[in-house]
Amino acid sequence: MAGASMSADSVALPDVERCRAFWAREEVDRPLLAAWIGSYEAASLYPRGLAQLPEGELKPSDLGFELFRQDYEALFESHRQAAVDVPWSAFPLLVMPWLEAIAGCRVVHRSGNVWAEPWLDSYDRLDERLQPRLDWLAKLTEFTEWLVALSHGRFPVGVSLLRGPADVLAAMRGAQDSVLDLIDAPENPERVLDWVTDLWIQAARAQLSHIRPFAGGYGWSIQNLWSEEPGGWFQDDAMAYWSPSLYRRYAAPREARLSKSLPRTGCHLHPPAIFTVDGLLEMPDLGVIEMNQDISGKRIQEMIPVFSHILETRRLLVWGHFTREDLVAMKEKLPARGLALQPLCDTPEEVRAMVQEVERIWLE
The enclosing H or E element of 251 equals none
Task: Give the pLDDT of residue 11.
Answer: 80
State whether residue 107 is helix, strand or coil: strand
| Angle subtended at Cα 291 by Cα 289 and Cα 294, rounded to the nearest 5 degrees | 165
Task: Give the pLDDT of residue 39.
Answer: 86
- Distance (Å, whole) CA 323 – CA 303: 15
What is the residue-level pLDDT of the chain in tens, covering all 364 positions? 344 444 435 788 999 999 999 999 999 999 999 999 998 888 899 999 999 999 999 999 999 999 999 999 999 999 999 989 999 999 999 999 999 999 999 999 999 999 999 999 999 999 999 999 999 999 999 999 999 999 999 999 999 999 999 999 999 999 999 999 999 999 999 999 999 999 999 999 999 999 999 999 999 999 999 999 999 999 999 999 999 999 999 999 999 999 999 999 999 999 999 999 999 999 999 999 999 998 878 999 999 999 999 999 999 999 999 999 999 999 999 999 999 999 999 999 999 999 999 999 999 8
Alpha helices in the chain (DSSP H): 16-24, 47-51, 69-80, 98-102, 126-129, 134-151, 165-173, 175-184, 187-208, 244-246, 252-259, 277-281, 300-311, 324-333, 348-363
pLDDT tens digits, one per residue of 101-122: 999 999 999 999 999 999 999 9
The radius of gyration of the chain's CA atoms, rounded to the nearest angstrom, is 20
Domains with residue ranges and CATH for the chain:
16-363 (3.20.20.210)
Task: Give the pLDDT of residue 296.
Answer: 78
Which DSSP string corresponds to 315-338?
Answer: EEEEEE---HHHHHHHHHHS-STT
Q: Which residues contact 290 (CB under 8 A, 6 or more apart)?
A: 223, 233, 266, 267, 268, 269, 316, 317, 318, 319
Residue 63: left (phi > 0), alpha (psi -120 to 50), or beta?
beta
Q: b/e string for 259-275 if b means 16 or more Cβ within 10 A?
A: bebbebbbbbbbbebbb
CB 267 within 8 A of CB 233: yes
- Distance (Å, whole) CA 105 – CA 19: 38
Task: Give the pLDDT of residue 36.
Answer: 95
- Distance (Å, whole) CA 78 – CA 88: 9
Task: Give the pLDDT of residue 8.
Answer: 36
Task: Give the pLDDT of residue 41.
Answer: 87
Task: Give the pLDDT of residue 120.
Answer: 97
Task: Give the pLDDT of residue 7.
Answer: 42
